[in-house]
Amino acid sequence: MTDRAVRRRRRALYLFFFLNGIAMSSWITRTPDVRDRLGLSTGQMGLVLFGLSVGSMAGILCSGRFVSRFGTRPVTALATLFVVASVVVVGAGSALGSAPLVTAGLCVFGVGVGSGEVAINVDGADVERITGAAVLPTLHGCFSLGTVIGGLAGMAATAAAFPAHWHLLAVAAVTAAIFGYAIGAVPTGTGVRAASPASGSPRPAGPQVWKDRRLLTIGAIVLAMALAEGAANDWLPLLMVDGHGLDAAVGSLVFVGFAAAMTVGRFGGTYFLNRYSRAAAVRASAVSGAIGLSLVIFSDNAVVAAAAVLFWGLGASLGFPVALSAAGDSGPDETARVSLVATIGYIAFLVGPPLLGFLGDHYGLRPAMVVVLAFVATAVLAAPAAGDRTSHHRKSDLGVPAELAVERPGQRAEG
């Protein structure tokens, strides 16, 4: 593979993550409008958001198997087409006032984003092996950058009272164009595993990892930080509208601030991790997230609450990937360890939206966020389990499960 082809491939991967970020934030910034269009209560909106959680979980759990069998290119292509189609379905559901249609669209969206994220991460790890340069941290930063760009566009559309369904249709057109440009640079065969050993071969006992106390503590960190990130993605615009009396456009702007803080945290996280331990990174993230959440929940000053969202975003940016990296280093059978901790984390994305929606319906969204604050506070106490400085040479440190970060046959010869 020539240097030019590698550069184009890397640029394409950045665009795929950027595309997902635009699509995600476009939906998030229009949640107040869509909620009003559907005429739903906070609890009912939580059930609609549950479709996104279910789809994300399904995509994450199934994509590794598909990548191992078919490679990253077809999985990335299909996943991105799911994202594009789902934005159209959500927009149609909003236009028709159909909550089931919006829920179905969000489920498809979750499948696309969840499965595509794994495939793109695997492809990014392959580029890193070819170039010897870090790619994956920037990939996740491009997702956050996409959320900022999409959030700004969503805020402008909200301020102009531009109908949500037409806005989402325009987003679908933009993401389809990005997909058409980028997919040609992704090669075939990446991520395909060699044939499995004979069925009689011994295999590690994955369930034994449940007995590792340190690993379960790392799982608690992932659960807390995933809940902090997911709560903002699902509820932040509505939280600022319903909880602090801001209008929908300003609520969208606050989410943009959260996304910007996430972007800064992810682009700058490598610098921080190169100089401090993973435990220090997790502790600092959790403290920042707890400060931000506390001010959002308990301050009656809307300006203070909006500014505090920046601390919330910085706190949520690193906890999840750093804890996954720590899980891979925590003992033997890395695959089972990373899989267990990742599954624990996605429980937060699965259970969080309906739980917070139920609590918000009965007590208000601001009091409901106390649950998130309590979990983040436990992450501060659990931070020592994350361990020492990250290694710069382990694929697991880049957030890719070991069973997926595999070389395709002949890869070294190409490089």
Residue 305 — very low, low, confident or very high, per pLDDT cuts 50/70/90?
very high
Using the predicted structure, report yes or no on whether residue 81 has a pLDDT greater than 90: yes
| Number of separate helices (H) and strands (E) present in the chain | 15, 0
If you compute the radius of gyration of the chain from its CA atoms, what whole number of angstroms results?
Answer: 20
Instruction: Indicate whether 308 and 279 sit together in one domain.
Output: yes
Instruction: Indicate whether 221 and 179 sit together in one domain.
Output: no
Residue 232 resides in a domain: yes
What average pLDDT does the segment 404-409 reach? Answer: 38
Q: Which of 15-29, 203-217, 309-323 has the lowest mean pLDDT?
A: 203-217
Residue 84's pLDDT is 96
Instruction: Indicate whether 258 and 336 sit together in one domain.
Output: yes
Residue 404 — very low, low, confident or very high, per pLDDT cuts 50/70/90?
very low
Please indicate, yes or no, whether the overall pTM of this predicted structure exceeds 0.85. Answer: no
Residue 235 — very low, low, confident or very high, per pLDDT cuts 50/70/90?
confident
Instruction: Indicate whether 234 and 365 sit together in one domain.
Output: yes
Instruction: Indicate whether 26 and 55 sit together in one domain.
Output: yes
Residue 118 resides in a domain: yes
User: What CATH number does residue 332 fall under?
Assistant: 1.20.1250.20
Residue 348 resides in a domain: yes
Residue from 320, 327, 312, 324 nearest 264 by CA: 312
CA distance 413 to 415: 6
Summarised one tens digit per residue, pLDDT across range 253-280 is 898 899 899 888 888 877 777 788 888 8
- Whether the CB-CB separation of 52 and 108 falls below 8 Å is answered with no
Residue with tokens 């690193």: 318
Distances (CA, A) of 200 to 63, 67, 382: 26, 24, 40
Range of the domain at 284: 209-392
Using the predicted structure, report yes or no on whether residue 340 has a pLDDT greater than 80: no
Q: State what percent of residues in the chain have pLDDT above 70.
A: 84
Instruction: Indicate whether 24 and 75 sit together in one domain.
Output: yes
Using the predicted structure, report yes or no on whether residue 328 has a pLDDT greater than 70: no
Residue 301 — very low, low, confident or very high, per pLDDT cuts 50/70/90?
very high
Residue from 24, 4, 22, 7 nearest 229 by CA: 24
Provide the mean pLDDT of the chain.
82
